[in-house]
Amino acid sequence: VTGHPPERRNSHVSNGPGCHSHGSRPTLEQAFKCLTDAGLKLTKPRCALMTAIAQFEQPFSAEELFAAAAARSGAAKAVRCDLVTVYRSLLTFTALKLVSKVDLGDGVGRYELSNFDGSHHHHVICSLCRRVEALKDCSMQRQEKVISGMGYTDVSHRLEFIGLCPSCQDSPSPTR
Amino acid sequence: VTGHPPERRNSHVSNGPGCHSHGSRPTLEQAFKCLTDAGLKLTKPRCALMTAIAQFEQPFSAEELFAAAAARSGAAKAVRCDLVTVYRSLLTFTALKLVSKVDLGDGVGRYELSNFDGSHHHHVICSLCRRVEALKDCSMQRQEKVISGMGYTDVSHRLEFIGLCPSCQDSPSPTR
DNA sequence: TTCAGTGCAAACAGTTTGCACCGAG
DNA sequence: CTCGGTGCAAACTGTTTGCACTGAA
């Protein structure tokens, strides 16, 4: 399957033209520009959180980000930042498509830095340690074989499609 | 315009072809036998819950099952059953593979009656009303096209693979 | 100066746990 | 009769909300 339509949620939030790089992770400068371009303030908590986010190599939870931001010292001075602010910032960053929500099925919301080109990938999750690997290739059909080839055993998958159903296209009904 | 009828009885959603001897739906007798075979007691709450579960045509939450069991009248007399018991029973049923947990990404645990043949299917979720359709076909490659053909727009998907990673095969590490 | 953004407390939703009682086997 | 199963209360986790204060623009 080639080219998945980028998600349109919160399409009123525009990515500034300067925000997009070439499929790799955004730099801090780009991320900050994205914020200001959207008319948002560049506050200390947001800077600290964005800086911390850029360091993660795995999807992270709000709690983990909170801890990482609090622990930050040296380069960026540790900014006092409430956990509530973490949640609110993640919401903001997600709306701006700076980060994407990752559902690993354990009921806790996780996030990762987005690729600005809108490309998405899938994950392999170890059923024991819950460590996550990102997959480059999005050809779903061969994936399980690929994953077995990576040394995983007991490979299964979880796949859901999300779309706007015909009746909701006609008459939007409230989300249940 | 009424939008969506609130009832869950979508005729196109069935439990698929299976090993069931009595049509497309698993029978209560089979489910009860499964319980007793496992050495578990056939208590009134369990019977009531299993009966209610058999009526659902969509993945249901613990709360929904709780309400459904409480509302049960006529055929099965309404059994007083605590929400906690619902959770515990769902855990039990899941362990017995009588029901499967379904993750629709909204953070609430949902369940559906399993196919006894162990087959699994995927779901299409309306991004607005959150109604769910089960897919017969599990050939992932053509799915998005199939879903567009069903009238959905803005089709995207969520796919995760779960397996036991090489290092956990060697030395089990605690789940993070 | 001004209001978006924040901290704090508290509410909230979904789920789990401790414990004494109950009832299916 | 026994012990698995249950109800009830209460803890717990992750997340959201209300409100007054603060600091970036």
- CB contact (8 A) between residue A131 and residue B165: yes
Q: What is residue A161's predicted lDDT score, i.e. its pLDDT?
A: 76
Q: pTM of the entire structure? A: 0.77
Beta pairing class for A99-102 and A110-113: antiparallel
- CB contact (8 A) between residue A151 and residue B165: yes
Whether CB of A61 is under 7 Å from strand D: the answer is yes
For residue A154, list chain B residues with Cβ-Cβ distance below 8 A. 162-164
Nucleotide nearest to A42 (CA to C1'): D24
Q: Residue A137: is its pLDDT beyond 50?
A: yes
pLDDT band at A85 (very low <50, low <70, confident <90, very high): very high
For the CA of B85 and the C1' of D8, the distance in angstroms is 11
Q: Which of A71-75, A127-131, A138-142, B7-11 has the lowest mean pLDDT?
A: B7-11
B131 residue type, one letter: R
Nucleotide nearest to B85 (CA to C1'): D6
Range A159-174 average pLDDT: 71
Nucleotides of C under 7 A from a protein CB: 4-10, 13-18, 23-25
- CB contact (8 A) between residue B175 and residue A144: no
Q: Give the residue, B93 or B139, on which the prediction is more confident.
A: B93
Closest CA–CA distance from residue B114 to any residue of chain A (Å)? 15
Write the DSSP symbol of residue A84: H
Chain-wide mean pLDDT for chain B?
75
3-state helix, strand, coil in chain A (%, to 5): 35, 15, 50
Q: What is the Cα–Cα distance from A14 to A89, expressed in whole angstroms?
A: 17
Gyration radius from chain B CA atoms? 18
Beta pairing class for B153-164 and A123-126: parallel
- CB contact (8 A) between residue B128 and residue A172: yes
Q: What is residue B17's predicted lDDT score, i.e. its pLDDT?
A: 31
For the CA of B42 and the C1' of C24, the distance in angstroms is 7
Q: What is the Cα–Cα distance from A102 to A109, expressed in whole angstroms?
A: 7
Question: How does pLDDT run across A94-123, given as a tens digit for each residue?
Answer: 999 999 998 887 889 999 999 877 777 878
> Which structure tokens are listed for B6?
């609130």
For the CA of B65 and the C1' of C9, the distance in angstroms is 34
Q: Which residue of A122, A148, A163 is in closest CB contact with B160?
A: A122
Whether CB of A30 is under 7 Å from strand D: the answer is no
pLDDT band at B153 (very low <50, low <70, confident <90, very high): confident
Q: Are A50 and A36 in contact (CB under 8 A)?
A: no
Strand C contacts in B 96-125 (CB under 7 A)? 107-109
pLDDT band at A14 (very low <50, low <70, confident <90, very high): very low
Q: Which residue has the tokens 């690993």?
A: A104
- CB contact (8 A) between residue A107 and residue B105: no
Range A81-92 average pLDDT: 97
Q: Which residue has the tokens 């990576």?
A: A150
User: Which among B125, B135, B165 is the top mutation candidate for probing chain A, defined by the most A β-carbons within 10 Å of its own β-carbon?
Assistant: B165
Q: Give the residue, A72 or A48, on which the prediction is more confident.
A: A48
Question: How does pLDDT run across B76-131, given as a tens digit for each residue?
Answer: 566 789 999 999 999 999 999 999 998 887 889 999 999 877 777 778 887 777 77
Q: Residue B35: is its pLDDT beyond 60?
A: yes
Chain-wide mean pLDDT for chain A?
76
Beta bridge partners of A157: B161
Q: Are B85 and B45 in contact (CB under 8 A)?
A: yes
